[in-house]
Amino acid sequence: MRYSILTVCLAAALALGCSREAATPADGAAPPAAAKTETAVTSPAVVDAHSYAQPDKVRIDDLALQLAVDFEHKQLSGSATYTLNWVDKAATQLVLDTRGLNIEKIVGERSDGKWGDLKFALAPADKLFGSKLTIETPERNARVRVTYKTSPDASGLQWLTPAMTEGKKTPFMFSQSQQIHARSWVPLQDTPSVRFTYTAHVTAPKDAMVLMSADNDPKAARDGDYEFKMPQKIPSYLLAIAAGDLVFQPISQRSGVWAEPAMAPKAVAEFSDTEKMMETAEKLYGPYRWDRYDILVLPPSFPYGGMENPRLTFATPTAIVGDKSLVSLIAHELAHSWSGNLVTFSTSNDAWLNEGFTSYVENRIVEVLYGKERADMESLISRNELRSEFTDANKPLQALAIKPGALDDPDNNLTGTVYTKGAWFLQFLEQRFGRDNFDAFLRGYFDHFAFQSISTQQFVDYAKANLLDKYPGKVTQAEFDAWLYEPGIPSNAPQTPSARFDAIDAARKAWLDAGTLPDKAATAKWSTQEWVHFVEGMPDTLSADQLKALDAAYKLTGTPNGEIAQRWYPLTVRSGYTQADAAIAAFLQRIGRRKLIMPTYSELVKTPAGLKLAEDTFAKAKPGYHPITTESVEAVIAKAKAAPQAAK
């Protein structure tokens, strides 16, 4: 997943459920948590504290879905059939994760090939983990089928009316399964430690094209009846579906764009370097193993920058700005084809194995295609955000190897840790061992653990054998362990200079000291990254006259670039620059991407006037927000209303 260069969790309240205490499921059977750090680090057994599933007893090997898309009732209905591997031959139960599902019937295939009813119990719902579904399987059935319907407010699905789409004619639906939202639309062992193949037969209205994280045929007829197959094993969070007025335009023989008709040409132009990105990654880290790499551009309500669903990346339209300055988002999601989709973290405590590796690979792709200057600027922006995100209060989440019990909600990982610190650690290893040696190590790592879900300890063991022991004297065990197990950033972290950012710093200082605005001839050539750095380096507040001068010169209020807007608008709010309020309201209603809008909401709620603007705007925007975004905004507003307000 790509949260991109601003932390999603600016403070604990901004992440999904950040204000929520660690929950105990209502049936008294909380998902298991490892008892000791030492055990979690050294034991090969995977214990996922965020799932009810018991993969040590039985594992899903294959999933067969039969689903019907009902836009009117905002519902998926049908069945899920599991081919099971009974690991424990004495086990007599199949335990699945669900959230808000209406379970209608469960049957099992007997040894004679006939299907019979199975007894089951659906536990009371826990707000975070959902309901544990326990199926009695005394015969240890080879296949089990669950017939069910989803809830209209399933956390992993968003249903858009035609008015919320670009074309305004056809409704739209899409999923977001990561981290533990797949259980809201399919009963599953919803843990990344379980991987399965899947097939699906999906019916929908004939004017809706249906796509999944599978073998989408660019030439498929839009006829309301669709078949899918995913032959490689994937974890539940990579299960994805979308339906709407979608057309395909190719980029290369093995990649292309799906989007609403008006968006498709713009997306193809913006993402035209996708094949070059694929070739670059293959030269570095081995073959692309997923056949096709297509991109689905979703409506602006998509809560994230991108989601690395195999064969079909989901991408935000906010990355399409006309100059390819934000296409590192595509490099990131493509990189997940190696780090994440191919080699997967086994629990959310190991999330850096996905996102840190991917952020590192992304930066390498950007360096090859767009130059080291741009790659360095993007790294520096991320590291500046990390420094502001890391506080004394969140130290337990600053270690790459998070201790059991520290992460109550898998959506609460610190972006700075799993993305930026993880990538920084790999850059440290690259510099110490040499790029050629480290590239060979990574390529071997992806091959060795291909199509497996692994823990941080497995990475540690592999790195010790293939880096530390192979090249003695380059990195000590103490240095290696400090990155993994200690909070903060080690003092030996490599530093990245940027002459272009130095020039931006000088221009900003000249304006702040003497009122001399940077020359328009120079700023006209600034990239998005340079504008981001210019605004980010401003003092916490500016005077109204200063803000007016910047607006008059550069028209920052109303900017169509979300990366600039998400930094400019919080500055205007903190400074009491109410002239930007109308543009702020329009921006928050137009965009549902969390990392772009949450910084502004978090500033607005700090004053009575701002809180009112936030509430009024949210009331209008909420119908177009994804449930994940809605919960984030509601949490920030609720926390502000519960605290004393200081007039400004």
Beta partners for 18?
A: none
- Give the C-alpha separation, 584 to 566, whole Å: 10
Report yes or no: 424 and 42 within 8 Å, Cβ to Cβ: no
Question: Which residue, among 148, 105, 114, has the nearest Cα to 130 in the 3D structure?
Answer: 148
Report yes or no: 330 and 319 within 8 Å, Cβ to Cβ: yes
Question: Number of helices (H) and strands (E), helices first, in the chain?
Answer: 20, 21
- Give the C-alpha separation, 528 to 534, whole Å: 10
- Give the C-alpha separation, 456 to 349, whole Å: 9
Pairing of strands 157-160, 255-259: unpaired
- Give the C-alpha separation, 556 to 260, whole Å: 28
Confidence class for position 627, pLDDT limits 50, 70, 90: confident
Please state the rounded mean pLDDT for residues 205-210.
96
Per residue in 120-169, pLDDT (tens digit) is 999 999 999 999 999 999 999 999 999 999 999 999 999 998 888 888 88
Q: Which DSSP state fits 577?
A: -
Beta partners for 84?
A: 60
Which amino acid belongs to residue 337? S
Q: Which residues of 570-580 are buried (b: 16+ CB within 10 A; e: fewer)?
A: bbbbbbbbeeb
Does 18 score more than 70 pLDDT? Answer: no
Set 82, 419, 554, 577: catalytic member: 419
What pLDDT shows up at residue 539?
A: 96
Set 109, 270, 333, 367: catalytic member: 333
Pairing of strands 102-109, 312-315: unpaired
Tokens 């989440």 belong to residue? 397
Mean pLDDT of the chain: 91
Per residue in 220-244, pLDDT (tens digit) is 999 999 999 999 999 999 999 999 9
Please state the rounded mean pLDDT for residues 423-434.
98
Does 15 score more than 50 pLDDT? Answer: no
Report yes or no: 365 and 335 within 8 Å, Cβ to Cβ: yes
- Token pair recorded at residue 151: 């809830």
Find the helix packing angle between 456-463 and 435-448, rounded to 10°: 130
- Give the C-alpha separation, 294 to 255, whole Å: 5
Which is more confidently placed, 21 or 605? 605
- Give the C-alpha separation, 262 to 133, whole Å: 43
Active site residue 385: no
What pLDDT shows up at residue 645?
A: 54
- Give the C-alpha separation, 198 to 61, whole Å: 9
Question: Which residue, among 157, 130, 165, 172, has the nearest Cα to 75 in the 3D structure?
Answer: 157
Q: Which DSSP state fits 364?
A: H
Which amino acid belongs to residue 333? E
Confidence class for position 300, pLDDT limits 50, 70, 90: confident
Active site residue 333: yes
Beta-carbon-side half-sphere exposure of residue 378 (alpha carbons within 13 Å): 29
Per residue in 163-188, pLDDT (tens digit) is 888 888 899 999 999 989 999 999 99
DSSP-assigned states of every residue in 277-339? HHHHHHHHH----SS-EEEEEPPTT-SSSEE--TTEEEE-GGG--SSSTTTHHHHHHHHTTTB
Confidence class for position 565, pLDDT limits 50, 70, 90: very high
CA distances from 410 to 25, 406, 407, 431 (A): 16, 10, 6, 31
Find the helix packing angle between 581-590 and 594-604, rounded to 10°: 140
Does 43 score more than 70 pLDDT? Answer: no
Confidence class for position 410, pLDDT limits 50, 70, 90: confident
E-assigned strands of 366-414? Answer: none
Which domains occur in the chain, in start order? 53-245 (2.60.40.1730), 538-642 (1.25.40.320)
Question: Which residue, among 380, 327, 357, 494, has the nearest Cα to 439 in the 3D structure?
Answer: 357
Report yes or no: 409 and 16 within 8 Å, Cβ to Cβ: yes
What pLDDT shows up at residue 45?
A: 65
- Residues 6+ away with beta carbon under 8 Å from 95: 52, 53, 54, 57, 132, 133, 134, 135, 189
Residue 625 in 3-state DSSP? Answer: coil
